[in-house]
Amino acid sequence: MQTTNLANEMPLLGEISSKQENGKLGFKEKISYGLGDLGSNLMWGIVGSFLLYFYTDVALIPVAATGTLILVARILDSIIDPVIGGFVDRTNTRLGRARPYILFGIIPFAIMLILTFTSPDISTTGKIIYASVTYIIAGLLYSIVNVPYGALMPLMTRSGEEKNQLSSYRMVGMAVGSIIVTALTTPMVNYFGGGNEQKGYLVTTIVFAVLSAMMFLVVYKNCKERYAEPVSAVKEKGSIIQTYKSAFGNAPWVATILFSLLLFIRTGATVSITIYFSLHVLHNPGMISILLPALYVSVLCSAAITPAFLKKFKQRKGNIIAQIIFMIGLAVMPLFEHNMVMFVALWFLANVFGGISSGAVFSMIANSVDYNEWKFNKKAEGTLYAGYSFATKVGMAVGSAVVGYTLALTGYNAENVTAGVSTAINVLFFAIPLVCTVLQIIAISFYKLDAIHPQVVSELEARRSAH
């Protein structure tokens, strides 16, 4: 694959790297990086939470067609992310390697998102075609912005401590974005629409899209690429097949991707089953609006303790300890199903520790990039981050599918939920997260980079100063 040149007349990438490589990250740069995840979750959060309802109840697209569309789009998403990552690895401009994709991709993505939540007055077939085109293109543009955004972290710093801090800011952005979308979308639709949901969703999406675009432009402006390879090294990267061969020989990266995949299977299943659990086990619909927001608020608390927690225990040991505490909290919760105060408190506390992994994976991926450069002389930050992006999308889809298929096997019928089905839902609510967490602990056991990462960074710095 040829080197991608978004600005052919611009100076060499290595020139800006040498000028920027010294100095620690400041608060402004850290908070700017976190704004990227806030913006990302504002735009893609409304897709994940409300697009299904918009298609079926607002745009009036048949349910079967909607399900097929979303499934196909997710398959395409999982394929396109590694391709985008490969392009990032081979990009060379004065603006950097990852930042140009953010600059030139965010406005088209915002526009396409708005079009996705637009419902033209056409035939049903026309609506299906329109929805397919806009949603699939929106997903492609999301990857064009989000994969480079994730790949930006190892280009900003090699410090493990600073990566943990950036991960924490990402976690805050992710949680705040999710809370805003889940809490404000429906009131905003009602306010802007005045009873017209088509208008309400359109205006609400415009608001989220404009705010998100502004946030990503802040990321582009304030986040600097200090550790991008010189142009000559980029040209010597070789084929994308060789890049992936090296990636799968990168044991810390493989462990991180498996850990992330299981994390998002757990998350996807938890978000899906919580609604059924609140309705048919707790018999309290109001708990939906307590348990799900509490899940995201707990991530904010996780973000506050993650840097110090991982600084003390490091990635491997810290994640194992955090996941064991999560499992203990979850395992005790069934004893308090008739005491909602204790039940919610345990849920919140368990997810504070369970959420540590959400931030840890970002710095683990970034450290894996350092290891890849050290071992194979290929940084490949785009390709390696694309693996994480793949894990998030596939994991969430698998988690939701597991819940759906299991409910179908139990004979779930919304109009007649039997005691047996309620028992199955109760078991699923606790069993899926516990099983996934056990598998996560096994996966993270193979992440053995903590001990040698300082040596890796030291030797990489020595190589750079020798040139």
Q: What is the pLDDT of residues 79-115, one digit of tens each?
A: 888 889 888 888 888 889 999 999 999 999 999 999 9
Is residue 1 within 8 Å of 205, Cβ to Cβ?
no
Is 233 inside any structural domain? no
Token readout for 94 is 């004065």
Residues 62 and 111 grouped into a single domain: yes
Residue 162 lies in a domain: yes
Would you state the pLDDT for residue 239? 61
* Residues 308 and 406 occupy one common structural domain: yes
296-323 mean pLDDT: 92
pLDDT at res. 386: 82
Residue at 13 is within a domain: no
Burial class (CB in 10 A: 0-12, 13-18, 19+), 357: buried
Task: Give the C-alpha separation, 116 to 202, whole Å.
Answer: 9
String of DSSP letters for 139-164: HHHHHHHHHHHHHHHHHH---HHHHH
314-362 pLDDT tens trace = 999 999 999 999 999 999 999 998 899 999 999 999 999 999 998 899 8
DSSP reduced 3-state for 338:
coil
Res. 5: pLDDT tops 50: no
Residue range(s) defining the domain that contains residue 297? 240-467
Angle between helices 340-354 and 315-332 (to 10 degrees): 170
What are the C-alpha distances in Å from 20 to residues 16, 57, 156, 159, 262? 6, 51, 9, 15, 37
Answer yes or no: is 382 within a domain. Answer: yes
DSSP 4: B
Per-residue pLDDT for 190 more than 60?
Answer: yes
Domain presence at residue 15: no
Q: How far apart are CA 161 and CA 454, in angstroms?
A: 11
Domain membership of residue 2 (yes or no) is no
Least reliable range by pLDDT among 21-25, 158-162, 179-183, 412-416: 21-25
* Same-domain status, 285 and 431: yes
User: What's the pLDDT band for 16 if we cut at 50, 70, 90?
Assistant: very low
Residues 206 and 109 in one domain: yes
- pLDDT bin (cut points 50, 70, 90) of residue 414 is low
Whether residue 14 lies inside any domain: the answer is no
Residue 309's Cα: distance from chain center in Å? Answer: 21
pLDDT at 240: 64
* Contact present, 199 and 66 (Cβ < 8 Å): no
pLDDT of residue 201: 93
| 102 plus 189 within the same structural domain | yes
CA–CA gap between residue 319 and residue 312 (Å, rounded): 11
Domain total of the chain: 2
Portion of the chain with pLDDT greater than 70, in percent = 91
Mean confidence (pLDDT) of the chain? 86
What is the rounded CA–CA span in Å between residue 236 and residue 246? 14
- pLDDT on residue 21: 43
The total of other beta-carbon atoms located within 10 Å of residue 35's CB is: 24
**Same domain for 187 and 249:** no
Q: Is the pLDDT of residue 9 over 50?
A: no
Q: Is the pLDDT of residue 14 over 50?
A: no
Q: What six digits make up the tokens of 96?
A: 């950097």
Instruction: Using the 3D structure, point to which of 223, 258, 291 is the last residue of a domain.
Output: 223
Which of 223, 252, 276 is the last residue before a domain boundary?
A: 223
**Which of 223, 248, 279 is the C-terminal boundary of a domain?**
223
CB-based burial, 101-114: b 16+ in 10 Å, e otherwise: bbbebbebbbebbb
Rounded to a whole number, what is the largest CA-CA distance in the chain? 72
- The average pLDDT across 144-171 equals 90
The answer on 143 and 261 residing in a single domain is no
Q: Does 215 share its domain with 251?
A: no
pLDDT above 60 (res 452): yes
CATH number (domain holding residue 168): 1.20.1250.20
54 and 116, same domain (yes or no):
yes
What tokens does 396 get?
A: 């969430």
Q: Are 178 and 287 found together in one domain?
A: no
Q: What is the pLDDT of residue 6?
A: 39
What contacts 62, CB < 8 A, 6 or more positions away? 56, 124, 128
Q: What is the mean pLDDT of residues 58-78?
A: 77
242 DSSP 8-state letter? H
Based on the fold, state whether residues 112 and 247 are members of the same structural domain.
no
Say if residue 89 is in the same domain as residue 182.
Answer: yes
Domain contains 12: no
Q: What is the DSSP track for 87-101?
A: HHHTB-BTTBSSHHH
SS3 428: helix
Give me Rg for the CA atoms of the chain: 22
